[in-house]
Amino acid sequence: MEMKWTHFSIDADLPGKAWGTGGIGLGDFDGDGDLDVIVSRRETLTAYWFERKDDDTWIRHIIGSSEQLGGDALGGVAVDVDQDGWLDYVTNGIWFKNPGNLAENPDTPWEAHPFEGGGHDIIAADINGDGKMDIVCYDGKTLSWFDTSNGLFRTIICEGRDDHGGVAPCGVGDLAGNGYADIVLPGVWFENPGNGYGEWKRHEWPHRPIPNAAYGTCIRAWVVDINGDGVNDIVYTDCDTGYSHVYWAENLGGGERWIVHQLPDPPGHPDTGSFHSLAVADFNHDGVLEIFAAEQEDPDRGMMNGGKLPMKPLDLKERGVIWVNKGEKGLPRFEPIVIHEGRPGWHDAVIGDVNGNGSMDIVSKVWNASGPNYHVDYWRNDTLLK
């Protein structure tokens, strides 16, 4: 089935002209039944939410400001932190409480609350199995989870690592086969002791690091049963460096034995950029999972003076790509299809049914723009339902 996508601009000119856009939070923040968007900007120290009116019309509102939104604040996620039925926004060292009256007054300020988490990766997952989404944070050194049912009580899973990132956007899932949510980092995964509390046993999996990567070891990870054998695998991309690739690591049982499969690079330019966006879903309604990844819009080549790889090879126009599964059940065979090339490019992307038509759409933003303006974008999936 042919896939069709239509691009819409959520905001073509974000406040500020310097690098640094945190987020993304995707969810129904005003209770009107469709999905809205949140990002923050490093330069303005401010978080914004974008109220969806229709696919063409998004209204920017201020959530609040904080010094925590400066520096390298990057990770962000929408999750109901206080379990009051409204999605809040969690980002670097702070979470903003949804006031719950945005339908009547969309400009109501959101209360800001400090918390101990932050870093490159901030995601939501049910770690303790109570049916509530918790928060997982990874700053490249320390991996922690925060229990939303216990006042954001922090459990440190591991410390002393040296990655750039590795658990976002969905590196949580049952790898051991015992029903508990385990957590993936580059080359290792941590086995949930049962309810998130206690010792997380460390296991290895065969990640393939890129030598001289621009910002060191970094991946985007997604735990999912990609080959339909009833066992969760790891789909991952290299990121935050040029010459990245896309892989799936096949779990042969219990997370102890693995086979790594590299997907073919997309057509066009002979080299690849940083696949900082990753998502897995049935995008074309064929009953099997596809893999989406996109190269980031980022002109940063300064690290080459230190012998590191550039963020983006010269003359590369960043590509949004969906790898369609053309194989048979149990034997995936992925073929890349480019859905967009060039600006507007990508950095982080999240998926969801934005307009409620039953298809998975894509929302993206940039970190270091290659043009004069920073932007947030919506890619509507117009692939027809069966």
- Under DSSP, the state recorded for 141 is S
Rounded Cα–Cα distance for residues 254 and 252 (Å):
7
User: Mean pLDDT over residues 279-306, rounded?
Assistant: 90
Q: Residues 92, 88, 113, CA angle at the centre, nearest 5°?
A: 50
How high is the mean pLDDT of the chain? 95
User: Mean pLDDT over residues 74-86, rounded?
Assistant: 97
Nearest to 26 by CA among 207, 144, 169: 169
**C-alpha distances out from residue 166 to 161, 298, 329, Å:** 11, 19, 29
More confident call, 99 vs 314: 99
Q: Say if CB 363 and CB 346 are below 8 A apart.
A: no
Rounded Cα–Cα distance for residues 12 and 376 (Å):
7
Q: Does residue 1 surpass a pLDDT of 70?
A: no
pLDDT of residue 223: 98
More confident call, 192 vs 308: 192
What DSSP element (H or E) covers 25?
strand 21-27
Could you tell me the sign of the dihedral formed by the alpha carbons of 302, 305, 308, 312, in that order? positive
Tens digit of each residue's pLDDT (9 = 90 or more) over 208-233: 999 999 999 999 999 999 999 999 99
More confident call, 127 vs 331: 127
Q: Does residue 328 surpass a pLDDT of 70?
A: yes
pLDDT of residue 331: 84
Residue 80: which residues within 8 A CB-CB, separation 6 or more?
Answer: 86, 87, 88, 132, 133, 148
- Counted residue by residue, the chain has a size of 386
Query: CB burial class (10 A; 0-12, 13-18, 19+) of residue 257?
Result: exposed
The answer to which of 69-73, 212-216, 271-275, 346-350 has the lowest mean pLDDT is 69-73
The answer to which of 68-72, 107-111, 279-283, 314-318 has the lowest mean pLDDT is 68-72
Tens digit of each residue's pLDDT (9 = 90 or more) over 233-271: 999 999 999 999 999 999 998 999 999 999 999 999 999
Q: pLDDT exceeding 70 applies to what percent of the chain?
A: 99
For residue 303, the SS3 value is helix
For residue 68, the SS3 value is helix
pTM of the complete model beyond 0.75: yes
Nearest to 15 by CA among 43, 36, 50, 51: 43
pLDDT of residue 126: 98
**C-alpha distances out from residue 174 to 216, 251, 261, 264, Å:** 27, 11, 20, 27
